[in-house]
Amino acid sequence: MKRIIIFASGSGTNAENIIKYFQERKNAEVTHVFSNNLRAKVLKRAHDLKVKALHFDKESFYGSNDVLNVLKDAEPDIIVLAGFLWIFPKKIIDVFPDKVINIHPALLPKYGGKGMYGNHVHEAVIRNREKESGITIHFVNEHYDEGGIIFQAETAISEKDTAEDLAKAIHTLEYKYFPVVIEKVLGLRDEI
């Protein structure tokens, strides 16, 4: 049984989708959800789905090895960032090489980097009159949105689309592809 740990900062709809997806399978499970935001809805979602939900602060993430030690004890096969807004520390990436992945709501390298998350991305895409956007699932390194790309999926944008319309289309892609890409990275699936 492969072990998945999710990091999230907000409402956790992607985390919930991933947890439910793997609860229906017998080859992997989400064992923990970590959040840097004590009020994040993702903690309640995880708790309601019987997954360990843990909150941490900046000191335990960056200053000490508290989060790293919990991760080592949990022995994850993959660490999934699903709406996690802090830069991931190099000390954790070094212990779990090629095991930390992130989803970004745009077609990287466009619209990536610090401050480019959620509606900030969608508003920038619409403002620049792009004809398409999409999702990028990539490995995590010590820079925002610069790790090697694993998978991208696109959606067309019409002239009438708002940032909210685009957000809905992006969520649909995220829910459809993120769990199966996780399976692929874990070696549990050949095709996406």
Which residue out of 32, 47, 55, 104 is catalytically annotated? 104
143 is catalytic: no
Give the residue from 49, 52, 5, 2 showing the smallest Cα distance to 28. Answer: 2
What whole-number distance in Å separates Cα of residue 37 and Cα of residue 114?
A: 18
What whole-number distance in Å separates Cα of residue 111 and Cα of residue 15?
A: 22
Residue 157 · residue 130 · CB < 8 Å:
yes
The residues pairing with 104 across neighbouring beta strands, listed in sequence order, are 136
What whole-number distance in Å separates Cα of residue 35 and Cα of residue 151?
A: 25
What whole-number distance in Å separates Cα of residue 37 and Cα of residue 8?
A: 8
Cα angle for residues 182, 43, 189 (degrees, 5° grid): 10
Residues 6+ apart with CB under 8 A from 111: 121, 124, 125, 133
| Encoded tokens for 134 | 């999409």
Annotated catalytic sites, by residue?
Answer: 104
